[in-house]
Amino acid sequence: MIEALRKKAEELLRSNTVDVIYGYGEGSTPERTRPVFITKPEDVNKLIWNKYCVYNLTTYLKRQESRKLGKPAIVVKGCDAKTIVVLIKESQIKREDVYILGVTCNGVGEPLATKCKACDVNTPRIYDDLIGEKIENKEIPFDERYAELDEYEKLSEKEKWDFWQKQFAKCIKCYACSSICPLCFCDRCIVDKNQPQWIDPSAHPRGNLSWNVTRAYHLAGRCINCEECQRVCPADIPLNLLNKKLAKETEKNFNYRSGYNIDDELAMATYKEDDNQDFIK
């Protein structure tokens, strides 16, 4: 599979189809990989593919530094490919601006990342080239996909509050969660705006609650569950639970799953006259 990937990458660079490959390379330790940016055909041997390729490389589509390298081909897993669908729908990129090197994937991380436990995109749903043998994507029932939330939804109001206060207290406001997120692409984040200051920049309980709730909420109906926020959090806050909760509510209420169909209207940019309103007096 690595050979096929390198061969394709070399071909794309030689033919000038793309200027750069965003891929995975060897990391600091054997259990780690790192993003690499290949611009020369002779460097394609730096590309690797293994179970430690957890990153969602599409985040580099929002970064001016990598964009300056020219048109990219991106190595994406099925989950990462969903980001590209959202970015196209949200007019951040055009389909023709990016060459998608889809890889089939049976799960990443050691131990297996939670995002992989109910995966239904082993084969990317969008790609220009597919590397690896096609895997039939499973249909996974709603309940199973959101099973991770069950134990938290069961908690009482006070238990929930205490749990999240304890988690948010750990936040150091390093903003790794939003920096890594491929869909957090605002040039100036709301937290960096101070006239007025909607969110306290301080890492105290008040500022941490409003920041973490707002970060999650801004991804409502958009998050594609790549879990990068949770992976990078140096304080080990289970951020993806919040995103997953929002994804669940979006699917339940609007029958919408982010990144699955390029023809679907974005959940939070549209409405239906008969949307649920049983909580409105």
Considering only 78, 102, 207, 259, the residue that binds another protein (CB under 8 A) is 207
Q: Is residue 152 involved in binding another protein (CB under 8 A)?
A: yes
Contacting another protein within 262-281 (CB under 8 A) = 267-268, 270-273, 275-277, 279-281
Interaction of residue 164 with another protein, rule CB under 8 A: yes
Q: Which is nearer to another protein, 98 or 229 (CB)?
A: 229
Helix, strand, or coil (residue 44): helix
Q: How far is CA 194 from CA 130, 176, 199, in A?
A: 46, 20, 8
Least Å distance, CB 108 to another protein, is: 15
| C-beta closer to another protein: residue 112 or 134 | 112
165 binds another protein (CB under 8 A): yes
Q: Is 10 in the site for another protein (CB under 8 A)?
A: no
Among 1, 7, 17, 32, binds another protein (CB under 8 A): 32
Using the rule CB under 8 A, is 228 a contact of another protein?
Answer: yes
Omega before 205 within 30 of 0, i.e. cis: no
For 237, residues 6+ apart whose C-beta sits below 8 A from its C-beta are 167, 168, 170, 171, 212, 230
Q: Give the contact letters, 173-192, x = binds to another protein (CB under 8 A), - = no.
A: xxxx-xxx-------x-x-x
- Per CB under 8 A, contacts with another protein among 92-121 are none
> What single-letter DSSP state applies at residue 136?
P
Q: Residues 263, 266, 269, 272: is their CA dihedral positive or negative?
A: positive
Residue 173 CB partners (closer than 8 Å, separation 6+): 201, 202, 203, 207, 208, 211
253 is an interface residue for another protein by CB under 8 A: yes
User: Quick check: 172 binds another protein (CB under 8 A)?
Assistant: yes
Q: How many CB atoms lie within 10 A of CB 198?
A: 12
If binding means CB under 8 A, how many residues of this protein chain bind another protein? 88
Taking the least distance from each CB to another protein, the nearer of 60 and 127 is 60
Q: Rounded to whole angstroms, how far apart are CA atoms 260 and 126?
A: 9
Return the ∠ at Cα 218 (arms to 102 and 88), rounded to 5°: 35
Should residue 221 be labelled a site residue for another protein when binding is judged by CB under 8 A?
A: yes
